Amino acid sequence: MQVDEILALFDKEQRQEVEFFGFRREVTPEVVRHICATPGSGESMLIYSRLTPDNAAEVIQAEIAYFESLGHNFEWTVFGHDTPSDLRERLLVFGFEAEDPEAVLVLDLNETPPSLLEPVTHDIRRITDPALLDDVETVHKQVWPKAAYIPWLAQRLADELQGDPEQISIYAAYVDDVPASSAWITFHRGSQFAGLWGGSTLPQYRQRGLYTALVATRLQEARQRGVRFLTIDASPMSHAVLKKYGFNLLTYAHPCKWRVTSARQPKDV
């Protein structure tokens, strides 16, 4: 399958049709929204849009007003092939805050490199007890700077692990029984895609193959579950590693954040 065909399938299954635990999906003729059901355990999202130069300003204003009425912060993710081509710049004009772009990489599991199918020899443990998510948060908190740290991450993972465990698998890598790296994979019913998330390794444990071991562990699970494609929003460091294992660039994602300006409290939805 060619990259453009995979991209079209990605748009359909992972942006237009996807459902997320703990979110209410809303579809309009122009956008697909996901509204966080429990404020404080995540932020709402707008992950798909199909706009034109003629209606972009009107739709952007309407979405701002809608999320303001809920009192929800939200992220509008603009992908490199979205229309109009200057959508990201239009959002910034309206007051959105741009974050660093991420490369969306994809691997066709029918073309998995043999090295990722070898038995994993590192101490990788799947976390099924929410009480052990402290190990994941410990890694995350130390790896990411304060500005990028997600304070509700552990609660969000715990909610999903308890509420719909078939859709997420969480792993931690240990060195001498100390949590050194962590990551998770998400699955979606009816989709040929699974997503790799959260790959983080403490600086003192890098260059030991832990990141690759976690990729291999999750990839092997995905193959066992019949998934065809793996995707990941990769940082430059991850991009360089994953390229060696056959991951290809699918598109770029440009997260744009809206912070509510109203004084009203977030509403439960």
Name the percent of the chain lying above pLDDT 90.
83
Query: Given the structure tokens 């909610």, which residue do they identify?
Result: 159
pLDDT of 266 over the 50 cut? no
pLDDT of 226 over the 70 cut? yes
Residues 168-215 pLDDT 10s: 999 999 999 999 999 999 999 999 999 999 999 999 999 999 999 999
Average pLDDT in the 149-178 region?
90
The CATH number assigned to the domain with range 3-101+253-258 reads 3.40.630
Q: Do domains 3-101+253-258 and 107-252 have the same CATH topology?
A: yes
Closest CA to 232 of 164, 5, 152, 222: 222
Which residues, in sequence order, are CB contacts of 226 under 8 Å at separation 6+? none
Model confidence pTM above 0.95: no
CB atoms within 10 A of CB 143: 18
Residue 174 dihedral angles phi and psi, to the nearest 5°: -120, 145
Which residues, in sequence order, are CB contacts of 248 under 8 Å at separation 6+? 3, 105, 106, 107
- The CATH homologous superfamily to which domain 107-252 belongs is Gcn5-related N-acetyltransferase (GNAT) (3.40.630.30)
Residues 229-264 pLDDT 10s: 999 999 888 888 899 999 999 999 999 999 998 544
pLDDT of 151 over the 80 cut? no
Secondary element (H or E) of residue 256: strand 248-258
Query: Given the structure tokens 């991209």, which residue do they identify?
Result: 7
Domain extent listing, the chain: 3-101+253-258, 107-252
pLDDT of residue 163: 92
pLDDT of residue 80: 96
The Cα–Cα gap between 215 and 171 comes to 10
Asked whether the beta carbons of 248 and 5 are under 8 A apart, the reply is no
